[in-house]
Amino acid sequence: MSLYRNFLSVGGLTLLSRIAGFVRDALMAAVLGTGPAADAFFAAFRFPNLFRRLFAEGAFNTAFVPMFAGALERDGREAALDLAARIMSWLVAMLVVVTILAEIFMPQLMTLFVPGFADDPEKFALTVLLTRIMFPYLACMSLMAAYGAILNSLGRFFAAAFAPVILNLVNIAAMIPLVTFWVQDAPGAATWVAAATMVGGVAQLALVWAAIRRADFVPALRLPWLDPEVRRFWVLAIPAILTGGITQINIFVGTIIASAADNAISILNYADRLYQLPLGIIGIAIGTVLLPELSRHLKGGRAVEARATQDQSLLVAMLLSMPAAMALIAMAEPIVRVLFERGAFNALATAQTAQALIAFSTGLPAYVLIRVLQPGYFAREDTMTPTIFAGISVVANIGLSLLLFPAYQHVGIAIATAVSAWLNALLLALFLARRGHFALTGGEWRKHLLILAISFLMGGVLYVLARRGAAHMESTAPIWEQVGVLGLLIGFGMLLYFTLVHISGAQPLGLLLRRLRRRG
């Protein structure tokens, strides 16, 4: 299957997951709103997610995939399976230790993670309870990410990309009674949803396990042993743990600072969910496909093909992320209102979430660029350089967050996150170029500048149209009318953008379709 078709496959499944996620978030907004229980739930959910991104997705999608792809390319299936078994045995051992320690010392950990909750004993106690319920979710998701990394390296992308849909469907099913007939107080509802999240995690793991069994590639776990290859894995993985989870580290920092203000965590969460839609469809899809693809080319000595793969990925990333960012900025308030403003989620929450969404969205192309550029280092088994850049960006994020939060509250944290992402992306691009692994020709610069100009034009048109049609997207209008008008605006924006992209020559659509049809 071609690179473009793999992008489309993973991106399409991610889109399905995010649509189900929006339904879940709309139900959650109606049930929890932006009050203390919502803050407690989202803080509790972020905690295991942080460790999942650091341990599983950070280590396995950066350190493990190039080693596994190299073993598969050079030594064959049996050697690659043996390597996977030895490394995964360490992952399982770490998960057991971390989970037990976290469950025991959860109050102390939450004091560090959400220090601002300490002044509200009920809110703090609820956060501790919810985190204890959901922390084993870390083990499910980490094992799922590890099995998913193996499947992706084998060119099987479906199961790992579809698994998040299962989590959202379980949560939706759990919340339907809460918004129909089984009304709960906010803490009770948050506890119910936390338990459903744990069930969803088990269901996701079961799906990926079934897929890896069908592939007849199940690693046989054993007692961990530090042989030379495993030692080499840890040399690569330790810095990759920081680098691969940089977005989560920034969110973690934001959570600590935001815990000092009422409702800030839940507001940032709803805004984060919205800009994560294009990031997931574009950035995560490209990063998931690009790393094993680059690794196979480089391990096979195909440097020209590796360079072409990265250049194509960059063009697709900018072709899709720039208009997505502009659309989110231009229509932030109507998007938030139509999706979330009902039940406990009021007009003030809409305005505050829209402000955070605008700030986050200015960094969306940078988040996607990071996903495209990091594999250029990881595929060459260089995890240290991106780690240094990640550290610089984290320091910038902390400094800006502390500087901006007193005056701008949640918006200041979103601005700091966006600025730190651009800093990280710029450093990755500059040093990759210095090594001769990345450079844009004059024609490619022209295409990217055209994409930027057309995206700004489309954003301006959408802003004007959204203001003219604002009455049809008010919360007082029927839901079908709100969704219909918002959908028409998004559809018109896409039509205008891709028409101009085609006419300008930035990306002829016929060429794009031929690449999607191409196999191999």
Q: What is the pLDDT of residue 327?
A: 93
Between 388 and 440, the higher pLDDT residue:
388
- Cα distances from 372 to residues 3, 248, 331, 356, in angstroms, run 13, 17, 27, 25
Which tokens sit at 249? 């580290």
Summarize the confidence of residues 374-391 as an average pLDDT. 80
Summarize the confidence of residues 125-142 as an average pLDDT. 89
φ/ψ region of 381 (left if φ > 0, alpha if ψ in -120 to 50, else beta) reads left
Q: What Rg value do the Cα atoms of the chain yield, rounded?
A: 22
Identify the top-confidence range among 12-16, 100-104, 245-249, 256-260. 100-104
Is the distance from CB of 459 to CB of 330 less than 8 angstroms?
yes
Is the distance from CB of 505 to CB of 499 less than 8 angstroms?
no
Whether residue 234 has pLDDT greater than 90? no
Tokens 């980490």, located at residue: 142
Whether residue 26 has pLDDT greater than 70? yes
Whether residue 245 has pLDDT greater than 60? no
Q: What is the pLDDT of residue 307?
A: 73
**440-497 pLDDT per residue, tens:** 778 888 888 999 999 999 999 999 999 988 888 888 888 889 889 999 999 999 999 9
**Amino acid letter, residue 368:** V
CA dihedral over 320, 391, 417, 431, signed as positive or negative: negative
pLDDT band at 248 (very low <50, low <70, confident <90, very high): low
Summarize the confidence of residues 366-383 as an average pLDDT. 81
CA dihedral over 11, 12, 15, 16, signed as positive or negative: negative
CA dihedral over 373, 379, 385, 389, signed as positive or negative: positive
Q: How far is Cα 334 from Cα 19, in angstroms, rounded to an integer?
A: 17
Measured in whole angstroms, how far is the alpha carbon of residue 266 from the centre of its chain? Answer: 17
Is the distance from CB of 337 to CB of 473 less than 8 angstroms?
yes
Summarize the confidence of residues 329-341 as an average pLDDT. 89
Q: How far is Cα 441 from Cα 443, in angstroms, rounded to an integer?
A: 5
Is the distance from CB of 335 to CB of 357 less than 8 angstroms?
yes
Angle at 173 between CA 265 and CA 334, to 5 degrees: 50
**Amino acid letter, residue 106:** M
Q: Which of 207-211, 260-264, 368-372, 415-419 has the lowest mean pLDDT?
A: 260-264
Q: What is the pLDDT of residue 269?
A: 78
Q: What is the pLDDT of residue 230?
A: 84
Q: What is the pLDDT of residue 519?
A: 46
Whether residue 392 has pLDDT greater than 50? yes
Summarize the confidence of residues 29-51 as an average pLDDT. 80
Q: How far is Cα 472 from Cα 219, in angstroms, rounded to an integer?
A: 55
Q: How far is Cα 41 from Cα 25, in angstroms, rounded to an integer?
A: 12
Q: How far is Cα 475 from Cα 350, in angstroms, rounded to an integer?
A: 10
Between 238 and 497, the higher pLDDT residue:
497
Q: How far is Cα 303 from Cα 287, in angstroms, rounded to an integer?
A: 19
Is the distance from CB of 83 to CB of 73 less than 8 angstroms?
no
**427-437 pLDDT per residue, tens:** 999 998 888 87
Question: Burial level of 304, CB count in 10 A (0-12/13-18/19+)?
Answer: exposed
**155-172 pLDDT per residue, tens:** 777 777 788 888 888 988
Whether residue 328 has pLDDT greater than 90? yes
Between 239 and 202, the higher pLDDT residue:
202
CA dihedral over 386, 391, 394, 395, signed as positive or negative: negative
Is the distance from CB of 359 to CB of 275 less than 8 angstroms?
no
Predicted TM-score (pTM) above 0.75: no
Q: What is the pLDDT of residue 495?
A: 93
Summarize the confidence of residues 182-198 as an average pLDDT. 84
- Cα distances from 355 to residues 262, 264, 334, 420, 511, in angstroms, run 16, 12, 12, 18, 38
pLDDT band at 255 (very low <50, low <70, confident <90, very high): low
| Domain boundaries defined on the chain | 3-517
Q: How far is Cα 46 from Cα 114, in angstroms, rounded to an integer?
A: 11
Summarize the confidence of residues 197-210 as an average pLDDT. 90
Measuring CA to CA, which residue among 302, 450, 316, 471 is closest to residue 379? 302
Q: DSSP secondary structure string, 212-228?
A: HHHTT-----------H
Q: For the chain, give the mean pLDDT.
A: 81
Summarize the confidence of residues 497-501 as an average pLDDT. 91
Summarize the confidence of residues 293-316 as an average pLDDT. 72
Summarize the confidence of residues 79-98 as an average pLDDT. 87
- Cα distances from 42 to residues 58, 130, 206, 239, 268, in angstroms, run 21, 9, 25, 27, 10
Summarize the confidence of residues 9-18 as an average pLDDT. 69
Q: What is the pLDDT of residue 159?
A: 78
Going by the DSSP 8-state scheme, the letter that residue 56 receives in this structure is I
Whether residue 7 has pLDDT greater than 60? no
Between 333 and 283, the higher pLDDT residue:
333
Q: At what angle do helices 364-378 and 384-434 cross, to 10 degrees?
A: 90
Q: What is the pLDDT of residue 8?
A: 62
Is the distance from CB of 16 to CB of 86 less than 8 angstroms?
no
Identify the top-confidence range among 100-104, 213-217, 310-314. 100-104
Which tokens sit at 172? 């939706």
Q: How far is Cα 108 from Cα 96, in angstroms, rounded to an integer?
A: 19
Q: What is the pLDDT of residue 287?
A: 60
Q: What is the pLDDT of residue 485?
A: 92
Measuring CA to CA, which residue among 422, 451, 428 is closest to residue 324? 451
Whether residue 140 has pLDDT greater than 80? yes
